[in-house]
């Protein structure tokens, strides 16, 4: 059994920043986001270029919050949904920071936080950045239909969030900023394929992977779900979250009201017509950077499990009729002054 990674040195989340589009800014978490654009273009000519600009803005803002120059960042872990992660590579090229491109679909933020935590905890780096992003207009054109097509979306479909977020992970606080949260533990996900092939039901494809990771986590320690203020997946949406909860219950692990999903949190299901909720690399990233980090700052959250879930598909795999594999990466975020068992 693959063991839980315990970060003995507790790498700190020194800073975070979120950038979102019009729809996201009109959702229930609006007050937690740093920057938004009513046009979703962010001053660029195309939606793809807009996504790169979102990452640039997010990293700049995260650095400015702790008054840290980019030269102090030793590496950046970043990814997005566009072909070969071009949103990240074009958006971050001007920073001149050693770059690791990631693809974990909607799990990219959690994957990046795990890798950031591993490298800082081990002493390889002292300060790194982690980013991920998605844009509804670029993702829809790549994975589904041209925007002009106006196809009808089934109830299980999720709405790709136009969002980006950046995190600065470091060994020590800066003189200008005292961190509120740290990375305590992590558990890497396994690729799990249950034969789901409907690209409009990614929640069902990802749910088994999320459940597997959660079950492995609680089987390897003495914690119970009630020990955590929030256990949040990202992003299963309403459909996948319900399936995940049923799988866990069948395995004897019943989760309560502290079990939620970033795709459910970011949009208002009743008023925003997002069907099964939000998705995309930027969804869980922006919810974590904004809503969850603010919760730690205000003392609402002391211990949170984030399970970043991803549908590991591509246009090619869908065109060839392949099923959609899922993955779920878990990162435990704790208050910096929390005493560990």
> Would you list the DSSP string of 215-282?
HHHHHSSS--GGG-SEEEEES-HHHHHHHHHHHHHHTT----TTEEEHHHHSS-TTTS--TT-EESHH
Q: Is the dihedral of CA 268, 272, 276, 280 positive or negative?
A: negative
Cα separation of the two ends of the chain: 22
- Bridge partners (DSSP) of residue 333 are 183, 304
Question: Residue 71, CB half-sphere, CA atoms under 13 Å: how many?
Answer: 0
What pLDDT, on a 0 to 100 scale, did the predictor assign at position 148?
52
For the chain, residues with pLDDT lower than 50 are: 149, 339-341
Beta bridge partners of 169: 13, 128
The pLDDT of residue 145 is 56
How far apart CA 117 and CA 121 sit, in angstroms, is: 6
pLDDT of residue 154: 66
Q: Are 290 and 154 in contact (CB under 8 A)?
A: no
Which ranges in the chain are annotated with CATH 3.40.47.40? 5-170, 183-335
Coil, strand or helix at 184: strand
Helix runs in 30-135, H state only: 47-65, 86-92, 108-122
What pLDDT score does 341 carry? 44
174 HSE (CA, 13 A, CB side): 19
Q: Residue 334's closest CA among 298, 304, 293?
A: 304
- CA atoms of 208 and 206, how far apart (whole Å): 6
**Phi/psi-derived region of residue 306, left when phi > 0, alpha when psi is between -120 and 50, beta in every other case:** beta
Per-residue pLDDT at 48 = 94
What is the spatial distance between Cα 212 and Cα 200, in angstroms, rounded to a whole number? 22
Check residue 318 and give its pLDDT: 78
Tokens 């869980």 locate to: 284
pLDDT of the residue at 147:
57
CATH class for the region spanning 5-170: alpha beta
For 183-335, give the CATH class: alpha beta
Q: H/E element holding 211?
A: helix 202-219
Using CA atoms, how far apart are residues 134 and 120, in angstroms rounded to an integer? 26
pTM here is 0.94
Angle between helices 202-219 and 237-250 (to 10 degrees): 40
Which pLDDT score is estimated for 149?
Answer: 45
CA atoms within 13 A on the CB side of 146: 2
Q: What is the pLDDT of residue 159?
A: 87
Asked if residue 240 lies in contact with residue 279, where contact means CB atoms within 8 angstroms, the answer is no
| Confidence at residue 339, expressed as pLDDT on a 0 to 100 scale | 47
Which 3 state secondary structure label does DSSP give 78? strand
Measured distance CA(288)–CA(214) in Å, rounded: 18
Q: How deeply is 69 buried, as exposed, middle or buried, from its count of CB atoms within 10 A (0-12, 13-18, 19+)?
A: exposed
The pLDDT value recorded for residue 146 is 55
């Amino acid at each position: 059994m693959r063991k839980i990674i315990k970060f003995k040195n507790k790498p700190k989340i020194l800073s975070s920043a979120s950038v979102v589009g019009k729809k996201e800014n009109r959702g229930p978490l609006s007050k937690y986001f740093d920057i938004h654009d009513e046009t979703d273009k962010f001053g660029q000519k195309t939606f793809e270029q807009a996504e790169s600009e979102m990452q640039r803005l997010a990293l700049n803002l995260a650095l400015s919050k702790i008054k840290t120059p980019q030269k102090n960042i030793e590496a950046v872990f970043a990814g997005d949904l566009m072909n070969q992660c071009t949103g990240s590579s074009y958006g971050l090229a001007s920073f001149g920071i050693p770059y690791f491109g990631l693809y974990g679909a909607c799990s990219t933020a959690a994957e990046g936080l795990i890798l950031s935590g591993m490298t800082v905890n081990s002493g390889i780096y002292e300060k790194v950045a982690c980013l991920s992003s998605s844009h509804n207009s670029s993702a829809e054109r790549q994975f589904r239909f041209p925007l002009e097509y106006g196809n009808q979306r089934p109830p299980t479909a999720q709405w790709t969030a136009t969002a980006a977020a950046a995190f600065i992970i470091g060994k020590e606080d800066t003189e200008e900023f005292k961190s509120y949260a740290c990375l305590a533990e992590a558990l890497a996900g396994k690729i799990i394929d249950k034969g789901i092939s409907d690209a409009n039901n990614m929640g069902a494809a990802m749910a088994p992977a999320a459940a597997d990771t959660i079950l492995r986590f609680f089987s390897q320690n003495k914690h119970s779900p009630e020990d955590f203020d929030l256990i949040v997946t990202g992003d299963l949406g309403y459909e996948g979250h319900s399936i995940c909860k049923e799988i866990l219950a069948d395995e004897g692990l019943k989760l309560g009201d502290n079990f939620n999903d970033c795709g459910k949190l970011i949009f208002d299901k009743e008023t925003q017509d997002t069907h099964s909720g939000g998705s995309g690399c930027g969804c869980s990233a922006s919810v974590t950077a904004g809503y969850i980090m603010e919760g730690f700052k205000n003392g609402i959250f002391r211990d949170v499990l984030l399970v970043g879930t991803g549908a590991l598909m591509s246009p090619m795999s869908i065109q060839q009729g392949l099923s959609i594999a899922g993955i779920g990466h878990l990162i435990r975020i704790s208050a910096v002054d929390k005493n560990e068992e």
